[in-house]
Amino acid sequence: MFELRKARERGIADFGWLNSRHTFSFGQYYDPHQQGFSDLLVINDDRVQPDKGFGAHPHADMEIFSYVLEGALEHKDSMGTGSIIKPGDVQMMSAGAGIRHSEFNPSKTDIVHFLQIWIVPEQKQVTPRYQQVRFAEARKRGRLCLIISPDGDEDSLSVYQDVRVFAGLFNGTETAEFELDSNRYAYVHLAQGELNMNGIHLEEGDGVRIREERQLKFSKGNNAEVLVFNLRPNELPGQELF
């Protein structure tokens, strides 16, 4: 079963320096029908103006990763980590027992466009950690590349949850198939461009909840960049099915 959520249906936050689209309930945007899916709690599609950003603020017991689509994002945190995240990089922060961090657009002229995604962890109060890995375009071109997994398989980033995240780039005749086990859910988010999935035409910002399906087929990409989440069969984050 495929449940399409169009980009135009997402929540909107516009603070001048920040323009954000919320796939799931976040901040002042609340929709009782959009409170996450399985262990996936937040997908925020953020555009930050030059020389602006999020000041230092705390997090705990959350797996947070940033996926930069355009520009650059400067990260600093209370562990002493400092880095610049650019397209092709994936940053994962396990907040665990508690961490403070800031995210800033260091450019004086260009916006930064990135996805901030939160995953509910299966372990609480772990020691905070920071990871950053660059995935070359060739690893994602015309295929789905594993970027996040519980055990850091295939040089992916590690996450404290039974979640696997894949990223792919598709254009023209490039195609890929993705197999799901019978007891798994999936969520597909199209970050950029246009793409067909199992006959469903997706545009930038569209998302799809997927239940009781075994095979996903991606084709007819037009400068498409897609994320695929392989998830436990739970409906809401933290909710077990019985």
Report all structural domains of the chain as residue ranges with CATH numbers, in order of start: 2-231 (2.60.120.10)
Long-range contacts of 231-235 (CB under 8 A, 24+ apart): 231/37, 231/38, 231/39, 231/40, 231/163, 231/184, 231/185, 231/186, 231/187, 232/38, 232/39, 232/162, 232/163, 232/184, 232/185, 233/38, 233/183, 233/184, 233/185, 234/38, 234/39, 234/185, 235/37, 235/38
**Sign of the four-CA dihedral 154, 152, 228, 73:** negative
158 neighbors 126 (Cβ within 8 angstroms): no
Return d(Cα 217, Cα 175) in angstroms, integer.
7
**Residue type for 132, please?**
Q
- Residue-level pLDDT at 80: 87
pLDDT at position 240, please? 53
Query: Residue 30 has what pLDDT?
Result: 96
Burial code (b: 16+ CB inside 10 Å, e: under 16) for 9-32 equals ebbeeeeeebbbbbbbbbeebeee
What tokens appear for 148 in the block? 């996040």
Q: Where do we find the tokens 């996926």?
A: 67
> Which strands make up the sheet holding 112-119, listed edge to edge?
11-14, 18-22, 40-48, 112-119, 63-70, 89-94, 129-134
pLDDT tens sequence for the chain (242 residues): 999 999 999 999 999 999 999 999 999 999 999 999 999 999 999 999 999 989 889 999 999 999 999 999 999 989 888 899 999 999 999 999 999 989 999 999 999 999 999 999 999 999 999 999 999 999 999 999 999 999 999 999 999 999 999 999 999 999 999 999 999 999 999 999 999 999 999 999 999 999 999 999 999 999 999 999 999 999 999 665 43
Question: How is residue 139 annotated by DSSP?
Answer: H
Rounded to 5 degrees, φ, ψ at 155 are 65, 25
| Residue the block writes with tokens 């449940």 | 3
Q: Residue 158 burial (CB < 10 Å; 0-12/13-18/19+)? A: middle
Q: What 3-state class would DSSP assign to 9? A: helix
